[in-house]
Amino acid sequence: DQQVKQNSPSLSVQEGRISILNCDYTNSMFDYFLWYKKYPAEGPTFLISISSIKDKNEDGRFTVFLNKSAKHLSLHIVPSQPGDSAVYFCAASEEYDAGKSTFGDGTTLTVKP
Amino acid sequence: GAGVSQSPSNKVTEKGKDVELRCDPISGHTALYWYRQSLGQGLEFLIYFQGNSAPDKSGLPSDRFSAERTGGSVSTLTIQRTQQEDSAVYFCASSVRTDLHFGNGTRLTVT
């Protein structure tokens, strides 16, 4: 049973518009959630995180929303830029520890100029 | 600054051979993790080292997989008698708890 799911394998948006990437989880013990961005031939890089005591965290163009009752989180990128084109991984962990995170399968975002 | 370094970047090996993958974490990071990503999949946790504590090996898929961390720094992941299903990108990451810093991975292809 996959505990972290990213149901959209891919997403395509126009430059300047909003990108919304979604993630669902099943384990109610998860209390810390992270998004990573990955370019080809590189390792994932940390983008933004949120703990379960919050429902929103914002960092520049990136905002993560957490809906604990629905076990759902989303990453909003606005405005989207061509350089945002990458694979985005959602990750979840327990005890506010990013280590041993459980990852989703990723969503490939393409931002068209 | 120096990030997490992994070598080799690519490794092609014949089925049945042993391979060793190396990771040099960020200096001062006491936590080190190995993950692997099979084609089209997310990252799968393999093993975790924290300081001098016994490693958490709960993610290792079989006893053909093992890892060591010498002197609290460099780590090697060893896969014995490789199988085709071991083909994947193997990532090492080090951590200061709040997020993981990944290397660029080793792409392992077992023919």
Query: For the segment A36-89, what is each residue's pLDDT rounded down to a tens digit?
Result: 999 998 999 999 999 999 999 999 999 999 999 999 999 999 999 999 999 999
Chain B closest CA to A50's CA: distance in Å? 10
Domains of chain B: which residue ranges? 5-110
CATH class of the domain defined by B5-110 = mainly beta
Q: Do A98 and B41 touch (CB under 8 A)?
A: no
CB nearest to B103's CB, from A4, A43, A46: A43
Chain A 54-113, CB below 8 Å of chain B: which residues?
A: 89, 91, 96-106
Q: Which residue of A has its CA nearest to B103?
A: A43
What CATH number should be reported for the domain holding residue A96?
2.60.40.10
Residues of chain B with Cβ-Cβ distance to A59 below 8 Å are none
Mutate one of B35, B37, B43 to test the A interface: name it (highest A CB count within 10 A): B43
Q: B45: nearest CA in chain A?
A: A100
Domain count of the fold of chain A = 1
A·B CB contacts under 8 A: 60
Compute the nearest-CA separation of B105 from chain A (Å).
6
Torsional class of B71: left (φ above 0), alpha (ψ -120 to 50), beta (otherwise): left
Enclosing domain of residue A83: 4-112
* B7-53 pLDDT, tens digit each: 999 999 999 999 999 999 998 888 999 999 998 888 999 999 988 88
* Contact criterion met (CB < 8 Å) for B98 and A99: no
Give Cα A1 to chain centroid, integer Å. Answer: 20
Q: Which pLDDT value is given to residue B21?
A: 98
Question: What is the model's pLDDT at position B1?
Answer: 54
Q: What is the pLDDT of residues A38-52, one digit of tens each?
A: 999 899 999 999 999
Residue B49 to residue B6: CA distance in whole angstroms? 16
pLDDT at B28: 85
How close, in Å, is residue A9 to chain B by CA atoms? 9
pLDDT per residue as tens digits for the range B92-107: 999 876 778 999 999 9
Contact A101, B99 (CB under 8 A): no
A8/chain B closest Cα distance in angstroms: 12
In contact, A19 and A84? CB cutoff 8 Å: yes
Establish if B52 touches chain A: CB-CB under 8 angstroms: no
Residues 6+ apart with CB under 8 A from A19: A11, A13, A75, A76, A77, A78, A80, A84, A109, A111
Q: Of B41, B56, B104, which is closest to A43 when you measure between CB atoms?
A: B104
Q: What is the DSSP secondary structure assignment for residue A101, as one 8-state letter? A: P
**The pLDDT value given to residue B51:** 83
pLDDT digits (tens, 9 = 90+) for A8-42: 999 999 999 999 999 999 999 999 999 999 999 89
Nearest-angstrom CA–CA distance, B3 and B23: 11
Query: What average pLDDT score do residues A101-111 get?
Result: 94
Q: What is the mean pLDDT of the segment spanning A78-106?
A: 91
